[in-house]
Amino acid sequence: MSIVYLDNNATTPLDPRVLDAMLPYLRDKFGNAASRSHAFGWEAENAVEQAREQVAALIGASAKEIIFTSGATESDNIAVKGVAHMYHDKGNHIIIQETEHKAVIDPAKYLEQNGFEVTVLGVDKYGMVRMDELAGAIKDNTTLVSIMFANNETGTIQPVAEIGKLCKERGVLFHTDAAQAVGKVPIDVEAMGIDLLSVSGHKMYGPKGIGALYVRRKKPRVRCEPVIHGGGHERGMRSGTLNVPAIVGLGTACALAQAEMPEESKRVTALRDRLWEGLSKNLTEIALNGHPEKRLPTTVNVSFLYVEGESLMMGFNDIAVSSGSACTSASLEPSYVLKALGVGDELAHSSIRFSLGRFTTEADVDYTVKRVSDAVNHLRKMSPLYEMALEGIDITKVQWAHH
């Protein structure tokens, strides 16, 4: 059975051109990039430096400002904990927002347990930070603001340049988790006033287990305490022998994204809108979660009223998507991201995230529209809630049994 893959925000397939670029470094070109005394080392080092240029070019940085890591989780950890610790003498307050990835939330919580003060900002109904709230939250002892570029569940894109400008004016550092945005929307760390930025290889058709952190070197020169201590690789911020094949893969993925972004983003945005319009034409009582326009080309997060997302997914096992319920331990928790937008529990439970990508076709989208519409109609026919709604009963007033 062939499966339509619409879960590209969870991970993307490796672009075959990326694999081709990596293979020599998994075979003959196996040198350690830190070996300075022979050609194997020089060859590996050259490959790493080329990749550093490719990552830097995609975000408007210079190569020296790129640190290779194991992925965006590690980059987020270095940025949040590394900056908080390094600038502890200046202040012990950091600011994040509610819809951050756990890779930012959990390090912030860890800091809070260790004596730091953390402000968690709410978001508006589209998942956007409110600029006046952010401005009001910055204090004399604030050292870092960490707000993601684009959200993984809803695709909402934050006003990053405005945030960067505010942070500059107030003299605080600005980190952005751009795992979902790099390679999909234009990024310029200079124009946007970004001081630190996290990249993930496997969200942009590169390999898993590789990522990067941009750390500004001028105006101001940003410093981070390392999370991993050791041989002093990567300007001392991230020790450990470099994963040369994966770094080559990430560099190639960045070069491809840069070359193809104008065309690809137009094509994928059209597919994204085709999916939403198709569903809206076939079905009533559906809602789009996230910002209607300021949204990633890849992401369509939809609540199907009166239908439970997990059951809906079982209705089309030949389409890979995610639901708005996270299976944490025994219970099904509605997504904390959707809750932060003010989406109620029922609507969060009825949500599906469709995430498109480079290899999604129009046929995939049309098939999905048909399959999902049929499945929703089928489930609604059997749903007592839907019947009640048709009879005009307000289901938000229904008393739910809780576990």
Ligand X SMILES: *Cc1c(COP(=O)(O)O)cnc(C)c1O
Residue 180 near ligand X by CB under 6 A: yes
Among 200, 298, 325, 335, binds ligand X (CB under 6 A): 200
Structure tokens at 21: 């670029």
207 or 334, CB closer to ligand X? 207
Residue 298 near ligand X by CB under 6 A: no
Contact 203, 181 (CB under 8 A): no
Minimal distance, residue 134 CB to ligand X, in Å: 19
Q: 141-175 burial by CB neighbour count: b if 16+ within 10 A, else e?
A: ebbbbbbbbbbbbbbbbbbbeebbebbeeeebbbb
Residue 177 near ligand X by CB under 6 A: yes
106 or 133, CB closer to ligand X? 106
Binding residues for ligand X restricted to 53-112, rule: CB under 6 A:
71-73, 101, 103
Active-site residue flag, 167: no
146 or 350, CB closer to ligand X? 146
Q: State the amino acid at position 233 in one-letter form.
A: H
Minimal distance, residue 43 CB to ligand X, in Å: 27
Residue 211 near ligand X by CB under 6 A: yes
Q: Which residue minimizes CB distance to ligand X?
A: 71
Angle at Cα 220 formed by Cα 214 and Cα 223, nearest 5°?
A: 55
Binding residues for ligand X restricted to 141-170, rule: CB under 6 A:
148, 152
151 or 383, CB closer to ligand X? 151
152 or 301, CB closer to ligand X? 152
Residue 179 near ligand X by CB under 6 A: yes
Contact stretch for ligand X (CB under 6 A) within 43-51, 122-130, 173-181, 242-250: 173-181
Q: Mention every residue, 6+ apart, whose C-beta is less than 8 A from residue 286.
A: 279, 280, 302, 303, 304, 305, 376
Residue 43 near ligand X by CB under 6 A: no
Residue 324 near ligand X by CB under 6 A: no
Q: Which of 278, 260, 300, 255 is nearest to 151 (CA)?
A: 300
**In whole angstroms, what is the distance from residue 379 CA to residue 311 CA?**
8
Q: Which residues bind ligand X (CB under 6 A)?
A: 71-73, 101, 103, 148, 152, 177, 179-180, 200, 202-203, 211
Residues with catalytic function: 327
